[in-house]
Structure 1
């Protein structure tokens, strides 16, 4: 049998929430380079073209891409997304819970909690039936959120930070059940990330915040660098405490 006749090795299948731009988009391309096909999820129907551009980058990197619009705060929308994923690919090997928010203008008072806690659990519960033993879940958060119970953050970010910590706690409660199914779980926590919408909004609300945090930390990670850390969390052994801390944490603590 020649190499041309050999059946190609199956690729892993990943779904990344909020991957139509930024960290999620860069993570999608990096995972494609590591043998993953990727579901590119986005929320705003006006951003379909941008999500399709990310999907093309995934294909250029060697992976298949499935573009699915879904509002993660809506049960029916999430259910429809996973029906489409199941129909197209049959299952998932990796779920990256990257989408978050809460600082958007005009958002409802409880929107941060809806997205950063309730929607994370909703997506996880919908994904688990499609995941076999050996699969993995990666939850993306910030140091400002992970350490919020011991280290205060900027007032403009506190509601988001507390809602993201609530989301992390809710997901961690499900680790024993995930472990029983052979599904790994990792939290990736990073500092303010250069170039993200959240960092820009915080710096606009609190001028100089980005410079101050950069000076305190020594340096801040770029979108691409943080995406590399998320990719590593998907591929490497699960760390102690299911926690991967990215960058300096000397200003935070204790580790929770």
Structure 2
């Protein structure tokens, strides 16, 4: 896609944080956006209101991606509200929650990602793009150790990435490209806060190793850039501090 004018995007997990910033930036560039939330409707409504106040188009849709009906609800909203779907940003992730069950990380970070993509490609035309968001700690988990508290999440996200990459041949048949955006720890995110709580000093230690950590706004801008970047399907875009991971890997 050379431009976002006239396109429609779904951004999973976009009621706050990185997803919310991505949704707002996409809308500012002309895309109509489906803003996804699981429970926090007021947050998603606020994101939509901000987009509309700036002259953009958006709709908030509550959908739990780990349920059979969740992905379909988002695709249906894109088609009924805006006439189609051209961009899927797979931002939703988790697994550090203590109340969602032992297998929640794998259900959300692998199974739900595949289910969301499978539902989306049924309506995405040739030239569309899928962007999967991950972390360096997950992307390199098979070669570089991470913090104990994050390892289950990292392994489940890597499993999700592998499962999505396995679908590239099917995507190519439809003319749809897949791009992976891998980021370092991001300042101010829920995950970074939880990791620092579980391992005090973890964020500062990583900041020293990487030189600096990206903000939510900076990382979101890189994700949006990859929505139209001229890169081949399967490309991985490393954002911030990947040199030491690449060296270790």
CA distance in 2, matches of 1:184, 1:57: 30
* 3-state SS of 1:133 partner: coil
Query: Which structure's CA Rg is the greater one?
Result: 1
Moved runs in structure 1, 4+ residues, more than 6 A? none
2:104 alignment partner in structure 1: 111
2:190 is aligned, of 180, 184, 197, to 197
**Long gaps (5+) in structure 1:** 1-8
1:123 alignment partner in structure 2: 116
**Long gaps (5+) in structure 2:** none
- For the 8 Å contact 1:150–1:254, the answer to whether it is kept is no
Question: Is 1:37 aligned with 2:32?
Answer: yes
Question: Is 1:23 aligned with 2:9?
Answer: no
TM-aligned CA deviation for residue 128 of structure 1: 0.4
Q: 1:34-74, CA deviations, whole angstroms, 9 ceiling, x for partnerless residues?
A: 11110000001xx1111001011222333211110000000
Change in 2 beyond 3 A, CA 1:139/1:10: closer
Q: 1:76-131, CA deviations, whole angstroms, 9 ceiling, x for partnerless residues?
A: 23223322322222310100000000001222111000000000000000000110
- For the 8 Å contact 2:5–2:31, the answer to whether it is kept is no
Question: Is 1:158 aligned with 2:151?
Answer: yes
Q: Give the alignment's TM-score, normalised by structure 2.
A: 0.95
CA distance in 2, matches of 1:93, 1:193: 27
Q: How many pairs does the alignment contain?
A: 246
- For the 8 Å contact 1:14–1:96, the answer to whether it is kept is yes
1:136 alignment partner in structure 2: 129
